Structure 1
């Protein structure tokens, strides 16, 4: 049986406590994972602090080359990476391969950004008293980064933490999700081979109450970047003090569909956005608001497409959806479906579960106060409600504690601009689903969806400090 070790200071360290890692699909044990203690966290922080000056003084081209080396190593191990993701996260293998491709692109962007950190000249004589001075502002690494990542994209969301951190010259302590640590340990091996200085990357698995708590509260940590639930994110923000904090939290992303839109052209995108990786995506399409004249047609077309989806083993090439990440999540999703039906919703398709899998489910006419409407399902469930006018649709989308991304389908450019201005979200996708993301764009939300932005260039800004240098002639 595969038994993993902690990665601290460039060395593999035996843990004192271990826990079996089981497959979300079969329940079989796939590895034994170490649980870090507070002493292990302290060792990792000391290792990261010890390499801060080395990384800060490392030329940009060398940091870029290390990231380029990682790109090559992942490319050489594409299938191995995909299988790790599929096994530990129950992500269908085709979807896992897509994540690996995105991970490669994320590190490519990071290597490019390492070579063009944004420094600028300041025209000091623009103000009285500034004559005879030359000044410039530089971006310097903020220091030790604590990266806490979720299970749903165990390689690419890790890349969104490690890539910008190393591009900027920061060491990292990575705490991956308890269900998906194997991806992070594999990536640590690749960075070690790529020439990253020892101590620049440390990987600690274990309980959030031990590892996460220690990282967030320790004064030697300079930056905390977290992707996960709003409840945990709010606690991190409260405990982090003056540390720089980036939070990418939850959502119940919505799309508005105008009456003049061709449903045949968008139905495949809607089904993909709602059910890719069992809906366990931060920007998964959860709420659909369609003009009342098109609701019946849309539900019929989506239902027909959903009935073609295949549930099964994540390593089966034909599988579209597999198991949810845990039995507790399956139970919660089924309870929320039942609650929605109890408050008047209709199940157009799905609504049942088998083993740890939930059928892709479309709910129609959902009460806005139901959990599947106002909370984050993080499961294969989408609701379809109707609107009569455009302003009403925008208000329906905004009636949420979340605001990550939203989609808008319309042929009316004035409606598109109106939506772009009035939707309370971090990103508006015109004529696409809210689930769209490429890895260099600014990505993040408002309200309970978080603060700060990812996307390599923008994450680097979150992980650096600006220093002004002024010369008097």
Structure 2
């Protein structure tokens, strides 16, 4: 089954095609068009030409287009979820949840399209501002290149496409090479809305060809990227003076203070660590447990983890399936073995069964072990003992990343310490750091990125602020 490019409102064949295989079955599920540089340029030109139409649309019209998309997605929820599971090996129960979130994300975008506004400025507060009034307006920035990852192939696309349309921009989307089917399905749905022809374009292919061509194109005004820090840094280097929005890596930490009810948090911790095989930007990777309760926590955490069901992602009962590639499977296993060699204790997991890595818990892990200091992006979590919340905060901060962190505590002073001293973009009190709803400002510090997603906040980054000063003299 061949899948083509979507340029200027039409499906266009690629010069070459690449086989797309299921990460779980390893069977070929589609042939994906590989865009040439010429075709990428054509997509950008189409977006540039459509920009004049997009920026003339009223906020009501932009909101209506997004509402149309919401209705189409809602009517095709089951199909959308199956596509996600087929191409990414995300267990179906989590794919269904992703589609629900995607619908909600586009709903937020439809609502925020009607709320884009500026402010009135007291120009006469300055000595030479007498009889003058000032105000600001937000204008669409132009052509946006969106480069998205495999792990949430619908919802993380929505976090770029939704605010771009809401703000009146045009888009050229390059999805991850392993998960283009979700983006192609989106194009099929958008084609049924009132979105102007050329306002959304889809180009599939390699990062070296498609990604670089988009990043370096002079007509692209903004690049929005979610992925690895290495690729993000490369994009920022090549983008020149373009606006660049980067949502990058993490090794999210959780503090569990003494006197916390372990039974009430175990399910949250297991889900946070192993949902989507740990392939989540804010997957729970490091847990720091107070020494008074670490034995009880580790025992119950292991018991619940060992109950997870491994298998086919299209089976609704499956909890854990295959990692996105054989290379990631091999890397994760190597990191686990290295940590054990360096002194870590294997509590459970650490083995591969039918090409699926069993959920792995490691204890007594050093800060320099890869499973701790780098982004595992696999079903691997570390559990270490701490004697105080302050010690745990220092451990979490000893990282190149700073996306989100969490703390379970009954002590308001310790919660306040976490808020004040954790070097992250988001602090989650009495919940796991994997918590996210799609309208909150989401993003990090250090090598976790330089932006905030969440529709309202993304729209601010996708618009230009224009000042108007009116002289009444």
TM-score bracket, normalised by the shorter chain, equals over 0.9
The residue that corresponds to 2:336 in the other structure is: 337
Equivalent-residue separation in structure 2 for 1:127 and 1:409 (angstroms): 49
- Is the 1:24–1:356 contact (alpha carbons within 8 Å) kept by the matching residues of 2? no
1:168-219 CA-to-partner distances (Å, cap 9, x unmatched) read: 0000000000000000010011111011111100000001001110111111
1:149-183 CA-to-partner distances (Å, cap 9, x unmatched) read: 00000000000000000000000000000000000
The residue that corresponds to 1:300 in the other structure is: 299
Q: Secondary structure at the match of 1:424?
A: coil
- Is the 1:68–1:107 contact (alpha carbons within 8 Å) kept by the matching residues of 2? yes
Q: Secondary structure at the match of 2:192?
A: helix
The residue that corresponds to 2:50 in the other structure is: 51
Query: 1:354 deviation in Å?
Result: 2.1
Q: How many residues align?
A: 472
RMSD: 0.6
User: Is residue 221 of structure 2 the alignment partner of residue 222 of structure 1?
Assistant: yes
The residue that corresponds to 2:140 in the other structure is: 141
Q: Gapped runs of 5+ residues in structure 2?
A: none
Query: 1:391 deviation in Å?
Result: 1.3
Q: Secondary structure at the match of 1:318?
A: coil
Equivalent-residue separation in structure 2 for 1:229 and 1:205 (angstroms): 19
- Is the 1:427–1:443 contact (alpha carbons within 8 Å) kept by the matching residues of 2? yes
Query: 1:356 deviation in Å?
Result: 2.6
Equivalent-residue separation in structure 2 for 1:238 and 1:166 (angstroms): 27
Q: Gapped runs of 5+ residues in structure 1?
A: none
User: Is residue 245 of structure 2 the alignment partner of residue 252 of structure 1?
Assistant: no
User: Is residue 456 of structure 2 the alignment partner of residue 453 of structure 1?
Assistant: no
1:20-74 CA-to-partner distances (Å, cap 9, x unmatched) read: 1000000000000000000001100100000111111111100000000000000
Query: 1:288 deviation in Å?
Result: 0.2
Query: 1:120 deviation in Å?
Result: 1.2
User: Could you tell which deviates more after superposition, 120-129 or 307-316?
Assistant: 120-129
Matches within 5 A, 1:188-203: 188-203=187-202
TM-score by length of 2: 0.99
Equivalent-residue separation in structure 2 for 1:186 and 1:120 (angstroms): 39
Moved over 3 A (4+): none
Query: 1:226 deviation in Å?
Result: 0.2
Equivalent-residue separation in structure 1 for 2:348 and 2:59 (angstroms): 53
Equivalent-residue separation in structure 1 for 2:450 and 2:353 (angstroms): 37
Equivalent-residue separation in structure 1 for 2:463 and 2:162 (angstroms): 13
The residue that corresponds to 1:65 in the other structure is: 64
Query: 1:148 deviation in Å?
Result: 0.1
1:359-388 CA-to-partner distances (Å, cap 9, x unmatched) read: 001001011110000000000000000111
Query: 1:97 deviation in Å?
Result: 0.2
Query: 1:293 deviation in Å?
Result: 1.4
Q: Secondary structure at the match of 1:321?
A: coil
Query: 1:299 deviation in Å?
Result: 0.7
User: Is residue 442 of structure 2 the alignment partner of residue 443 of structure 1?
Assistant: yes
Equivalent-residue separation in structure 2 for 1:296 and 1:86 (angstroms): 36
User: Could you tell which deviates more after superposition, 141-150 or 289-298?
Assistant: 289-298
User: Is residue 313 of structure 2 the alignment partner of residue 318 of structure 1?
Assistant: no
Query: 1:238 deviation in Å?
Result: 1.1
Equivalent-residue separation in structure 1 for 2:355 and 2:155 (angstroms): 25
TM-score by length of 1: 0.99
Equivalent-residue separation in structure 2 for 1:121 and 1:103 (angstroms): 34
Matches within 5 A, 1:280-299: 280-299=279-298
User: Could you tell which deviates more after superposition, 458-467 or 120-129?
Assistant: 120-129
The residue that corresponds to 1:269 in the other structure is: 268
Query: 1:118 deviation in Å?
Result: 2.5
Matches within 5 A, 1:5-154: 5-154=4-153
User: Could you tell which deviates more after superposition, 59-68 or 115-124?
Assistant: 115-124
Q: Secondary structure at the match of 1:25?
A: coil
Equivalent-residue separation in structure 2 for 1:138 and 1:275 (angstroms): 44
Q: Secondary structure at the match of 1:468?
A: strand
